[in-house]
Amino acid sequence: MSADEKAQSRCLIGSLIIFIILIIALLITAVILKFSDSHLSALSQNSSNPNYSNSLVPSRPELTTAAGLKPTVAPIEPRNVCESKECITLAHQLHNFRDPTVDPCQDFYQFSCGNYIQHTVVEEPVMVRKNEIFVNLIRGMHSVVCSLRLMISDFLVKKRRTTSNSENAMKTLYDKCEEVKNAEDPTTHEKQKWKEAIDMIKKIGSWPILNKNWKESGFNLNNMLTKMSEFGFEKFGFFEIYANADQYLLISPLQSPMKQKHQPGRFKKTLLHIFKISNIKIDAKQLKSDLKDFEKFEDEIAGYPVNYRREFQTLDQLQKQIPSVNFEKIIRSSMNPKKNKNEFWDKVKDRILITDQPLFFNTTKNLETILKTTPKRTLANFLIFRLIDLMITQPDNYCEEVVLDRLPLASLRVFVRNHFDKENLKIASDLVEDLRQSFKDSFQQSTWLHEETKKKAIEKLEMMRKMIGYPEELEKPGALDKIFETLQISPSDSYHTMHIKIGRFQMEQAMEFVAGSTKILADMRVLWANAAYFFNSNFLGVNALLLDDPMFDSTYPKYAKIASAGRVIGHEIGHGFDPLNRRKDGNGKENDWWTPEDSNEYDKRVQCLVEKYDNFDHPLYGKKFNGTTALREISADVMGNDMAWRTYKRLDMSNEPKIIGFEKESTDKVYFYISALV
């Protein structure tokens, strides 16, 4: 037999042996399964027989007492403790942020929050530690927004394009941002940005450094300002035009020089870099001269004093002071072109406020005299240099934050639809009414207010409108997408073009808000975990993000809701009666409704607060507080704390669940522990 034949024979024998083993294994498996089925069947049948006893499972004799009686086991009462994940997070903060080595009677806030600073600040020299404390406090204030960024990130990464205009806009902006951020050659996008920016500047007005034949006769100030408005800018070199949450359009001067934000020579280097990557040759000597004149002109504007009093003038008064600027034309240019601009202007013109600043209203020398006496070349360069400065941005590290900042309403909609517990809206609305009642009780029970003043105070309180979370109109299907119909951004747009289009869209929406066509301002502030009081309209706004953990949750006990979000809301209601706003009526108009005696008594009581805080010396910063400067916030704090406490004591807390680890503590103590964290 050859070697090949022997090998084949061995293979056949091996295969036969493996086959026989498999057959035997299958037979054994079949027998085991049959036995198991029959045994289980027998167990099942006999288990129904009361006389059946399985010898393999010995029975346990019943427990009896010496008297032969069965012992009584006391039922376990359910714990009245909040065990939701949100309450567990709150319990974690209460336990871990406190410093138990401190006597709470000596320093309650150090006892309640002392370890928060210890755990978030590294050991460094004093100045570094102070800075780190400030940074961490700011981070803590924005922690909810950071959480929102993570939520939005998850949405943007997974989301495919839909029929929703607002969601598609978010996705388009996010994808383009990621494309730019992760580009192999970042200079490609940078070159494209500045090419488009320079083209836009040429449409706005002739830039002297790029035009050797530039002449002063060709300079038209109002055309430049109007074109800037058409592109969606709200800063116009000398002044800015923007909407505030009170539904007013404000015009304020821009006086801070650019050198405050740039290192010496930095702006010049940036300009030279822009010219280089854009293949633009310029006269270096002329640029140096232009920049020198520009800096001198900025210093002149910055030299005007600033009025920190909150006083306003009308557009007619401003126009009389500065006839060289056509403010109406600039404002009209920022309106939606599809609207009837005359009708729209009629709604807006009476809601324009001008901050009373010397640059505008100084009787001897103001912006008008500056415009008349300054060389046109300097004015043109001033507008263009400041416009370029607006477009100088740092690389975007987090594209989610870009979306939050540029498209806040769309981001709010995503948060509300996917992550927000809408049950919180009704609870928060009821909380506002409870706080309103506490304010009302306080006025009625006052021993020093006269009846006339009490009546007017309660009238203003009852007229105070509220918005909880977001306008009800945004709940309607397609309502936000209808707003976003005017924003047309495409994946083929450059990143720079997208930002310009979004800027124009935001300005149009601001005008819609001032005109009353929309109920919420498209501003990043809608994403803050906060509430706000708007004095010019006697309006209370409570943001949706305040009504989410860690500040608020539907599962929290009542006392936790009042101690956290309730104190914040009470503070904002208190601003309606602070030293600056107390003379405004229920419509937000100046109308002093206080009797002279009550007004004098109020001022005396406020002065006590000033003196108290003037004597407060911060142990870490070594700096005394200025009670006068912070008076509005101090007085609102006092009222907010008092009204929240009144609300807590007025409501029944006997059946409210405890916080884990604080079962033996009184709710009064836990209330103040939570208050200290806010």
pLDDT digits (tens, 9 = 90+) for 365-387: 999 999 999 999 999 999 999 99
Q: Give the per-residue pLDDT at 407.
A: 93
Domain's final residue, options 366, 392, 418 = 392
pLDDT of residue 126 exceeding 60, the answer is no
What the block records as the tokens of 319 is 């126009």
H or E segment to which residue 510 belongs: helix 495-515
- pLDDT above 50 (res 121): no
Cβ count within 10 A of residue 388: 19
What whole-number percentage of the chain has pLDDT above 70? 82
Question: What pLDDT is stored for residue 372 in this prediction?
Answer: 96
pLDDT in tens, 92-108: 999 999 998 999 898 88
Rounded CA separation 484/518 (Å): 12
pLDDT value, residue 119: 53
| Torsion sign (Cα): 5, 10, 11, 12 | positive
Higher pLDDT, 645 or 133: 645
Residue 574 lies in a domain: yes
- Number of H helices and number of E strands within the chain? 27, 9
* pLDDT value at residue 52: 40
Cα 34 to the chain's mean position, in Å? 68
Which of 338, 369, 392 is a domain's end point? 392
Q: What is the mean pLDDT of the chain?
A: 85
486, 336 Cβ separation under 8 angstroms = yes
DSSP strand E in 73-229: where?
81-82
Where is average pLDDT lowest: 22-36, 243-257, 349-363, 401-415? 22-36
Residue 531 lies in a domain: no
**Is 209 among the domain residues?**
yes
- Asked, for residue 309, whether it belongs to a domain, the answer is yes
When pLDDT is cut at 50, 70 and 90, the band that residue 70 belongs to is: low
pLDDT (average), residues 461-473: 91
Q: How confident is the model at residue 48 (pLDDT cuts 50, 70, 90)?
A: very low
Q: How confident is the model at residue 55 (pLDDT cuts 50, 70, 90)?
A: very low
pLDDT value, residue 396: 76
Per the structure block, which two tokens stand in for 452? 């006339």
CATH number of the domain enclosing 627: 3.40.390.10
Is residue 237 a part of any domain in this protein? yes
Whole-prediction pTM value? 0.78
Residue 624 located in a structural domain: yes
What is the total residue count of the chain?
Answer: 678
Judge whether residue 18 has pLDDT over 80.
no
Find the DSSP H helices in 556-623: 558-561, 567-574, 596-614
Residue 492 falls inside a structural domain: no
Long-range Cβ contact pairs of 515-523 (< 8 A, separation 24 or more): 515/344, 515/347, 515/348, 515/351, 516/247, 516/347, 518/483, 519/467, 519/471, 519/473, 519/474, 520/409, 520/467, 520/470, 520/471, 520/474, 521/243, 521/244, 521/245, 522/408, 522/409, 523/243, 523/245, 523/408
pLDDT of residue 655: 92
Contacts of 278 (CB under 8 A, 6+ apart): 191, 194, 195, 198
What is the tally of structural domains in the chain? 2
Q: Is residue 612 included in any domain, yes or no?
A: yes
Would you give the end-to-end CA distance of the chain in angstroms? 95
Question: In a 3-state reduction of DSSP, which class is residue 251?
Answer: strand
Domain boundary among 338, 366, 392: 392
Domain extent at residue 346: 186-392
Mind listing the pLDDT tens digit for each residue in 482-536?
Answer: 889 899 999 999 999 999 999 999 999 999 999 988 888 888 788 888 899 999 8
Helix (H) or strand (E) holding 253: strand 249-253
